[in-house]
Amino acid sequence: MLSDIPSETPPPDLAALAEDHYFNANPPPKDLDKHIKLAKEFIDFHAAAGRRLVLVTSGGTTVPLDAEKQTVRFIDNFSAGTRGATSAEYFLEAGYAVLFLHRQFSLLPFSRHYTHATDCFLDFLQEGPNNSVVARDEYAAKMLGVLRKYRDARDRNMLLVLPFVSISDYLHELRAIAHLMQPLGPRGLLYLAAAVSDFFIPPDRMAEHKIQSTDAVDSVKKNSNDGRGVRTPSVEEEETFDNFDSSPAVPRSKRLVIDLDPVPKFLKNLVEGWSPQGMIVSFKLETDPSILVRKAKYSLDRYQHHLVIGNLLSTRKWEVVFVSPGSKDRWIRVPFNKNGPDGAPLDTEKDEPLDPKSLPEGDPPIEIESLIIPAVQELHTKYIQSYGEKKEQA
């Protein structure tokens, strides 16, 4: 099926060249050195203890459309960070140390139960005796459970949380952390749940100021964005244009055209160079059920890593598919019964995506990450074992 797709690897020096080019052209986030220091301490601590450690990436990355320090507009990938934040909790439960690399302000493990709720988090609190602030009675039991798990993870130094914002922040952090994880050998796991942008504007093509959309300034300031990533309208036809003339008759010159380059795919660099011993899990999020598995397989074939978890936007809380080398695709599903306790159970063993219409309304009764993480852990155990065997053979 995939045999007609060319899968030759570019010569290694070309990949290295592309890497050098990207990382030189896109400056690192300002906190990178601080993060590296924190990550190194955390990783070395757990490597010394012989513990498994997972890097969980989470949330979407942004593509700034304006110059670095004055970003007021960007392209974003939708991701509240639910998959990553939830997975992190179950990894902790499974005994992993968790380095949680997440988009700033996306969901965090534990606090996720309160922060992105429709309610304001203050609604969970009330005034207690002696000028204290306490959890409201009806929330106290759950909040205590969450708080205890959180404090336990912190107190035992099992959780390190680091933020990023842009795609280039993310790639700089990922590369640095993957390198730092090398002392973990095969006990290092990279669980790449962040929604990474596919396209970006190279910095040398970015406009210096906020994109001007109205006409006030055009008349006093000539626009000269030629050849940049973002082109704004010329000042011609100023008099005839009015913003009330929406489509279909908007003059071509009043449109905004954004011209983006593909983000280099560094997964191969990650697999071959940054983390040659760690187990690497990537995600494929699609909207079209007919291409999901094919795209997951293609990704695995191309990057030669260890597991692709495929999921569809509409059913991602109910099912995912594990695609890994040399194994049959494995669908993992939250058990459900649309018609309640009395109805006939639907077939959750199906070997292809479920019809979203066949699912019950609302959220699943359990978090699917409670099934995903033990399944990943099992594969990771096999990976560590086979790694030891390979080493013995060599």
Q: Which is nearer to a copy of itself, 212 or 370 (CB)?
A: 212
Q: With b meaning 16 or more CB within 10 Å and e meaning fewer, what string describes 189-216? A: bbbbbbbbbeebbeeeebbeeeeeeebe
CB of 167 to a copy of itself, least distance (A): 12
Q: Which is nearer to a copy of itself, 128 or 365 (CB)?
A: 128
What is the DSSP code (8-state) at residue 318?
T
Contact criterion met (CB below 8 Å) for 71 and 206: no
CB of 392 to a copy of itself, least distance (A): 35
Residues written for the chain: 394
Structure tokens that stand for 372 in this block = 């995903």
Q: Which is nearer to a copy of itself, 32 or 258 (CB)?
A: 258
Contact criterion met (CB below 8 Å) for 360 and 319: no
Q: Which is nearer to a copy of itself, 122 or 344 (CB)?
A: 122
DSSP run (H or E) holding 167:
helix 167-180
d(CA 375, CA 132) in angstroms, rounded, equals: 44
CB of 358 to a copy of itself, least distance (A): 18
Q: Which is nearer to a copy of itself, 40 or 116 (CB)?
A: 116
Structure tokens that stand for 24 in this block = 């030189």
CB of 162 to a copy of itself, least distance (A): 11
d(CA 216, CA 35) in angstroms, rounded, equals: 43
CB of 220 to a copy of itself, least distance (A): 7
Query: What is the distance, to the nearest Å, from the Cα of residue 297 to the centroid of all Cα atoms in its chain?
Result: 19
Q: Which is nearer to a copy of itself, 247 or 393 (CB)?
A: 247
CB of 172 to a copy of itself, least distance (A): 15
